[in-house]
């Protein structure tokens, strides 16, 4: 235990040591490889190979990525990409992910972009490094490059070999990333395309320290936040007289409406925080629209309307069609709801802040913290450490900010701050509620001849952006920062334009600023857009009396889409449906430009009590070149199950004052007995660019479940989540 | 008020200084520096903090340490044998790659071990029923069921 802990701290930069020592020490699979570079303010220059790749004295290669491991298996996938180009065994590759001043600034780990961006940057850098060292060895030995190869950290010639460390005489490869003539990931595929197991899972099952929640430093103190009753509550007064007598009490920090407690031990801190909650007086107003159905309320808000697509004359086409159909869909606010509440450790020493955080964007967080604390970026050092799965922008950055606020008030000691369950559920930035309204016409052959689409949505990202406002605690401070505005509007229209071949299409977006705090949740607006679009396709297929897969194929041209749907049809062709059971389908081409995905759901509906039991879900996914097929399957299985949970269970509830979905009873999600079996087929296309797949399942999987419910009950669910009321005696 | 409390954890006797009503979870994590049991909700609703008490899976987030002292406590770390070999369930989770973020894994493995203590060859439905308390947000449920089944084959 002691050895493991020491290494964990070493890896996270607590113990400063050099490479040679680490070479001799037994290093377990590391979440942050050791490095003697100190985190300075500088961003490594991404045009240079050494921003991405360092040669270690022990013969290993350290790969640096500005992205973070979220449980999506990115660390392993990036390692495979690097190992391939360097023709070097996986155990000789170390990974360092996300630390300011050390790794490249790659913004946020989001949008399923990590393989496309970080993965391809590392592929370029590693292939450039290979070509550079082969050229160096060729010049050194006077042997043509064609007779040399790089293998497992050595350049090997006909009769000679040299380690990279020796060849470079201890220096790093400082050349610019070039335009490599070959990518072995496309040709050799010794590691890429293989189901390389994640090493971190063994650490997890052993209980090794992995998470930011597991960090322990000598003399570390604990912090909790005394949360107000609502978004707009104002501090009035507090009885602080008896805190001093509480065991372990160290300090009460109050800055405007922000209140934090510091104590020696964690449970003492929680007890004092709970006591403080009772002794503080707030002024709070009822202001949330608790008495109006959300769907109606959202339409009363000021809207920013934009045309996203206007092709042909959709209105006339629909008016002149043989059959017409329209429907309206609604998706409520839903939450990230990570299993482990957000957490951070921070220390303020020598006027510098050092923070360990599971933020998805350490450099953007640093920018915002620098603005909030009025400090130079160079004086803030952030180390990315895995947390509980987040599925988008949750409270990670907020917890980091609160830990920093407390650390500044208590210099010289590490401060660990973790949110409680009700903090997390009640204060995280949710995925926004959305409305979609659709109209379409069918011609005599059952083909869609006109399509009108309108979407209502809040923005989909209020991630740290260099301003304090995106950090929750900012609004509570005396400076009067306020809440951020709508944020990233583009997320609302993701997949709002149909990928299907339709001559006349009109798509309008209406953006509002809604009542609850929102930011990025897995798939952003593509979730509601694809839920609506793929349910509507099923409705149209039914109206046209055409098989739903066939109906989609009638409106698709590209072979990759067709391949996915045909494989799915084959994989589900032998399903026998019993009484009360239904099968539903859906499809998407994510963002209309990345992965292709077809999904089926097999459900059983009990008409007596309206209960929906998911029996099985199937998927076929084509994400271009597959780096790790098992990782891709895992992400897809998880995406389908999470999506089914959103569809069947989830909605953020609130009263006039604040959120009331504060625990797992008031915010239920799918539990084990309710989850389906899953089966995923991966179509690997090494000739295509690899694209991200972590968000692809969200929209279509919900639509498949809803379409399956229709298939057996004849009931069209158009408002999420599915309620038993809608299905009783259906 | 803190008192000395004797705990039997992973086959070893420990004396900890703790207020007797402190939940076991905080003692295990912060005094014995064990990482297996995790804080998830503090409400006995999610299973992240599970440990074995005399072989039965129990949440530790509200269990007073003085009550826990009456039992043999096993955490995730304690499933590994003296030679560092994994328990067959831990092994199956690695082999089936039954994790994403891994935060829930402690409770799921602990509950699965408890299940096999009660019933050596459970059905899929029995596995799922036993894991009813365990929240997993990444959606690795179907892999978990495969892993538990693989461990008994």
Average pLDDT, chain B: 97
Taking CA atoms, A41 is separated from A58, A367, A377, A534, A599, in Å, by 27, 11, 6, 47, 46
Answer whether CATH 3.90.1150.10 is correct for domain B88-151. Answer: no
How crowded is residue A174: how many other Cβ atoms within 10 Å of its Cβ?
Answer: 12
Q: Does A98 touch chain B (CB under 8 A)?
A: no
How much is the average pLDDT of A134-155?
96
How much is the average pLDDT of A624-646?
98
- Which pLDDT belongs to residue A2? 41
Rounded to the nearest angstrom, the minimum Cα separation between B124 and chain A is: 9
Cβ distance of B100 and A638 shorter than 8 Å: yes
- Which pLDDT belongs to residue A15? 33
The strand pair at A677-682 and A611-622 is best described as parallel
Query: What values do phi and psi take at B99, rounded to 5?
Result: -160, 155
Q: Give CA–CA dist A529/A494, Å, rounded.
A: 7
Residues forming beta bridges with residue A598, ordered by sequence position: A587, A620
Q: Give CA–CA dist A386/A391, Å, rounded.
A: 13
Integer-rounded Cα radius of gyration of chain B: 15
- Which pLDDT belongs to residue A655? 98
pLDDT band at A589 (very low <50, low <70, confident <90, very high): very high
- Which pLDDT belongs to residue A9? 52
- Which pLDDT belongs to residue A241? 83
3-state secondary structure string, A505-566?
EEEEEEECCCCCCECCECCCCHHHHHHHHHHHHHHHHHHHCCCHHHHHHHCCCCHHHHHHHH
pLDDT band at A548 (very low <50, low <70, confident <90, very high): very high
- Which pLDDT belongs to residue A730? 64
pLDDT band at A26 (very low <50, low <70, confident <90, very high): very low
- Which pLDDT belongs to residue A664? 98
Integer-rounded Cα radius of gyration of chain A: 27
B68 secondary structure, DSSP code = H
Whether the per-residue pLDDT at B10 is higher than 80: the answer is yes
Looking at beta carbons, which residues of chain A come within 8 Å of B103?
Answer: 211, 338-340, 387-389
Q: Tokens representing A89? A: 């065994």
- Which pLDDT belongs to residue A242? 84
Taking CA atoms, A302 is separated from A75, A298, A438, A513, in Å, by 43, 9, 21, 8
Q: What is the pLDDT of residues A645-692, one digit of tens each?
A: 999 999 999 999 999 999 999 999 999 999 999 999 999 999 999 998
Taking CA–CA distances from B99, the nearest residue in chain A reads A201
Q: What is the pLDDT of residues A51-77, one digit of tens each?
A: 999 999 899 999 999 999 999 899 999
Whether the per-residue pLDDT at B140 is higher than 60: the answer is yes
Looking at beta carbons, which residues of chain B come within 8 Å of A1?
Answer: 33-34, 77
Residues forming beta bridges with residue A305, ordered by sequence position: A510
Chain A interface, mutation test: which of B62, B141, B146, B147, most A Cβ atoms within 10 Å? B141
The strand pair at A415-418 and A221-225 is best described as parallel
Start and end residues for every CATH 3.30.365.10 domain found in chain A: 2-192, 213-284+338-427, 296-333+430-727
- Which pLDDT belongs to residue A112? 78
- Which pLDDT belongs to residue A12? 52
H-helix or E-strand spanning residue A632: helix A629-649
- Least confident stretch, A17-26, A41-50, A234-243, A381-390: A17-26
pLDDT band at A499 (very low <50, low <70, confident <90, very high): very high
Taking a contact as any Cβ pair under 8 Å apart, which residues of chain A between 33 and 92 contact chain B?
70-73
Q: How far is CA A589 from the centre of its chain?
A: 19
Dihedral sign for Cα A461, A462, A464, A467, please.
positive
**Residue closest to B35 by CA, chosen among A638, A9, A10:** A9
- Which pLDDT belongs to residue A149? 96
Compute, in degrees rounded to 10, the torsion defined by CA atoms A366, A369, A371, A373: -140
Q: Give CA–CA dist A117/A78, Å, rounded.
A: 11
Taking a contact as any Cβ pair under 8 Å apart, which residues of chain A between 393 and 422 contact chain B?
418, 420-421
Structural domain spans, chain B: 3-76, 88-151
Helices (H), B10-153: 24-26, 65-68, 88-95, 105-118, 124-130, 141-151
Q: Tokens representing A646? A: 């959103």
Q: What is the pLDDT of residues B23-34, one digit of tens each?
A: 999 999 999 999
How much is the average pLDDT of A407-411?
98
A428 secondary structure, DSSP code = S
Q: Does B147 touch chain A (CB under 8 A)?
A: no
Interface A-B: count of C-beta contacts within 8 A: 174
How much is the average pLDDT of A292-298?
97
Taking CA atoms, B67 is separated from A454, B5, B49, B74, in Å, by 59, 10, 16, 15
- Domain A213-284+338-427: CATH class, spelled out: alpha beta
Q: How many residues does chain B have?
A: 153
- Which pLDDT belongs to residue B1? 86
Cβ distance of A672 and B129 shorter than 8 Å: yes
**Regarding the domain delimited by B3-76, which CATH topology (the fold level of the hierarchy) does it fall under?**
Ubiquitin-like (UB roll) (3.10.20)
- Which pLDDT belongs to residue A111? 78
Q: What is the pLDDT of residues A214-243, one digit of tens each?
A: 999 999 999 999 999 999 999 999 988 889
Whether the per-residue pLDDT at A32 is higher than 60: the answer is no
pLDDT band at A42 (very low <50, low <70, confident <90, very high): confident
Q: Does A201 touch chain B (CB under 8 A)?
A: yes
Q: Give CA–CA dist B85/B21, Å, rounded.
A: 35
Question: ipTM for the complex?
Answer: 0.98
Rounded to the nearest angstrom, the minimum Cα separation between A235 and chain B is: 27
Rounded to the nearest angstrom, the minimum Cα separation between B121 and chain A is: 17
- Which pLDDT belongs to residue A16? 28
Taking CA–CA distances from B32, the nearest residue in chain A reads A1
Q: Tokens representing B99? A: 């994790």
- Which pLDDT belongs to residue A31? 33
**Residue closest to B112 by CA, chosen among B81, B85, B133, B97:** B133
- Which pLDDT belongs to residue A161? 96
- Least confident stretch, A35-49, A311-325, A607-621, B101-115: A35-49
Task: Give me the percent of chain A exceeding a pLDDT of 90.
Answer: 90
Helices (H) and strands (E) counted in chain A, each on its own, are: 20, 24
Query: If 0-12 CB within 10 Å is exposed, 13-18 middle and 19+ buried, where does residue A489 land?
Result: middle
Taking CA atoms, A222 is separated from A8, A136, A262, A416, B49, in Å, by 20, 53, 6, 5, 19
Q: Give CA–CA dist A558/A63, Å, rounded.
A: 37
Rounded to the nearest angstrom, the minimum Cα separation between B47 and chain A is: 10
Taking CA atoms, A459 is separated from A112, A287, A495, A685, in Å, by 18, 21, 15, 34
pLDDT band at A22 (very low <50, low <70, confident <90, very high): very low
- Which pLDDT belongs to residue A61? 96
Taking a contact as any Cβ pair under 8 Å apart, which residues of chain A between 22 and 41 contact chain B?
none
A296-333+430-727 CATH pick, 3.20.10.10, 3.30.365.10, 1.10.10.10, 3.30.70.980: 3.30.365.10
Q: Does A338 touch chain B (CB under 8 A)?
A: yes
**Residue closest to A695 by CA, chosen among A589, A603, A565, A567:** A589
**Residue closest to A354 by CA, chosen among A394, A388, A384, A395:** A384
Taking CA–CA distances from A663, the nearest residue in chain B reads B41
Query: If 0-12 CB within 10 Å is exposed, 13-18 middle and 19+ buried, where does residue A246 land?
Result: middle
H-helix or E-strand spanning residue A406: helix A396-409
Average pLDDT, chain A: 93
Taking a contact as any Cβ pair under 8 Å apart, which residues of chain B between 28 and 87 contact chain A?
29-30, 33-36, 38-43, 45-46, 48, 75-77, 80, 86
Looking at beta carbons, which residues of chain A come within 8 Å of B137?
Answer: 337-339, 388-389, 391, 642, 669
Whether the per-residue pLDDT at A21 is higher than 60: the answer is no
- Which pLDDT belongs to residue A34? 34
Which position has the token pair 């509480």? Answer: A246
Contact (CB, 8 A) for A207 and B76: yes
**Regarding the domain delimited by A2-192, which CATH topology (the fold level of the hierarchy) does it fall under?**
Aldehyde Oxidoreductase; domain 4 (3.30.365)
Taking a contact as any Cβ pair under 8 Å apart, which residues of chain B between 111 and 130 contact chain A?
125, 127-129
Looking at beta carbons, which residues of chain B come within 8 Å of A669?
Answer: 135, 137
How much is the average pLDDT of A406-424?
98
pLDDT band at A520 (very low <50, low <70, confident <90, very high): very high
- Which pLDDT belongs to residue A7? 56
Residue that wins the pLDDT comparison between A170 and B34? B34
Of A389, A673, A678, the CB nearest to B101: A389
């Amino acid at each position: 235990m002691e050895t493991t802990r020491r290494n964990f701290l070493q890896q996270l930069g607590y113990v400063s040591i050099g490479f040679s020592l680490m070479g001799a020490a037994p290093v377990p699979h590391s979440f942050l490889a050791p490095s003697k570079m100190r985190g300075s303010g500088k961003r490594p220059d991404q045009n240079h190979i050494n921003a991405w790749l360092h040669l270690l004295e022990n013969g290993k290669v350290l790969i640096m990525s500005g992205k973070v491991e979220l449980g999506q298996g990115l660390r392993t996938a990036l390692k495979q990409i690097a190992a391939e180009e360097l023709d070097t065994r996986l155990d000789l590759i170390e990974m360092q992910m996300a630390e300011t001043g050390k790794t490249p600034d790659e913004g946020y780990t989001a949008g399923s972009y990590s393989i496309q961006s970080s993965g391809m940057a590392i592929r370029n850098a590693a292939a450039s490094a290979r070509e550079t060292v082969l050229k160096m060895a060729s010049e050194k030995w006077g042997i043509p490059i064609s007779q040399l190869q790089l293998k497992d950290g050595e350049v090997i010639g006909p009769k000679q070999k040299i380690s990279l460390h020796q060849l470079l005489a201890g220096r790093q490869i400082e050349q610019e990333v070039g335009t490599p003539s070959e990518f072995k990931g496309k040709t050799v595929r010794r590691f890429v395309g293989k189901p390389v197991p994640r090493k971190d899972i063994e650490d997890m099952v052993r209980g090794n320290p992995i998470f930011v929640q597991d960090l322990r430093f000598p003399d570390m103190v604990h912090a909790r936040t005394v949360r107000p009753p609502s978004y707009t509550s104002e501090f009035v007064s507090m009885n602080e007289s008896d805190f001093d007598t509480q065991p372990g009490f160290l300090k009460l920090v109050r800055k405007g409406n922000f209140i934090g407690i510091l104590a020696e031990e964690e449970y003492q801190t929680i007890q004092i925080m709970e006591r403080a909650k009772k002794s503080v007086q707030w002024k709070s107003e009822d202001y949330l629209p608790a008495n109006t159905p959300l769907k109606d309320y959202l339409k009363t808000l000021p809207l920013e309307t934009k045309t996203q697509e206007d092709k042909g004359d959709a209105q006339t086409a629909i008016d002149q069609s043989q059959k017409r159909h329209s429907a309206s869909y609604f998706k409520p606010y839903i939450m990230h709801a990570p299993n482990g509440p957000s957490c951070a450790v921070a220390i303020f020493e020598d006027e510098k802040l050092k923070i360990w955080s599971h933020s998805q964007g350490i450099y953007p967080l640093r920018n915002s913290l620098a603005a909030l604390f009025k400090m130079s970026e160079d004086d803030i050092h952030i180390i990315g450490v895995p947390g509980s799965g987040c599925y988008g922008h949750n409270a990670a950055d907020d917890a980091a900010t609160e830990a920093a606020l407390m650390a500044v008030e208590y210099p010289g000691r590490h401060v660990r701050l973790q949110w409680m369950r009700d903090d997390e559920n009640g204060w995280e930035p949710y995925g926004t509620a959305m409305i979609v309204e659709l109209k379409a016409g069918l011609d005599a052959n059952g083909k869609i001849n006109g399509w009108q689409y309108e979407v209502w949505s809040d923005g989909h990202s209020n991630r740290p952006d260099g301003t304090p406002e995106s950090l929750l605690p900012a609004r509570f401070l005396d400076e009067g920062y306020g809440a951020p505005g709508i944020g990233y509007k583009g997320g609302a229209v993701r997949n709002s334009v149909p990928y299907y071949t339709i001559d006349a299409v009109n798509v309008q977006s209406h953006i509002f600023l809604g009542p609850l705090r929102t930011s990025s949740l897995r798939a952003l607006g593509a979730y509601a857009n694809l839920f609506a679009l793929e349910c509507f396709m099923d409705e149209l297929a039914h109206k046209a009396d055409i098989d739903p897969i066939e109906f989609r194929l009638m409106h698709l041209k590209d072979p990759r889409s067709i391949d996915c749907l045909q494989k799915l049809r084959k994989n589900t062709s032998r399903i026998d449906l019993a009484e009360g059971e239904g099968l539903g389908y859906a499809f998407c081409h994510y963002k209309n430009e990345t992965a292709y995905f077809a999904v089926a759901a097999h459900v059983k509906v009990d008409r007596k009590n309206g209960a929906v039991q998911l029996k099985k879900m199937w998927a076929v996914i084509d994400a271009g070149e597959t780096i790790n097929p098992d990782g891709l399957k895992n992400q897809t299985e998880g995406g389908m199950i999470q999506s089914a949970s959103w569809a069947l269970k989830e909605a953020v509830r609130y009263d006039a004052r604040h959120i009331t979905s504060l625990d797992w009873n008031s915010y239920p999600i799918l539990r084990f007995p309710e989850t389906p079996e899953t089966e995923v087929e991966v179509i690997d296309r090494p000739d295509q660019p690899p694209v991200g797949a972590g968000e692809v399942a969200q929209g279509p999987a919900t639509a498949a479940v809803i379409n399956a419910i229709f298939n057996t009950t004849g009931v069209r669910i158009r408002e999420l989540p599915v309620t038993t009321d809608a299905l009783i005696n259906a | 008020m803190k008192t000395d409390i004797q705990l039997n954890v992973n086959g070893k006797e420990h004396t900890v200084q703790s207020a007797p009503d402190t939940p076991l979870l905080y003692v295990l994590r912060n005094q014995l520096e064990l990482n297996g049991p995790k804080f998830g909700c503090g409400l006995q609703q999610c299973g992240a903090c599970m440990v074995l008490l005399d072989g039965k899976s129990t949440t530790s987030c509200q269990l007073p340490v003085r009550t826990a002292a009456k039992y043999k406590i096993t955490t995730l770390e304690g499933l590994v044998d003296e030679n560092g070999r994994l328990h067959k369930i831990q092994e199956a989770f690695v082999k089936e790659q039954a994790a994403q973020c891994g935060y829930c894994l402690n409770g799921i493995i602990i509950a699965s071990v408890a299940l096999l203590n009660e019933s050596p060859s459970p059905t899929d439905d029995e596995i799922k029923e036993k894991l009813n308390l365990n929240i997993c947000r990444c959606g690795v449920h179907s892999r978990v069921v495969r892993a538990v089944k693989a461990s008994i084959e």
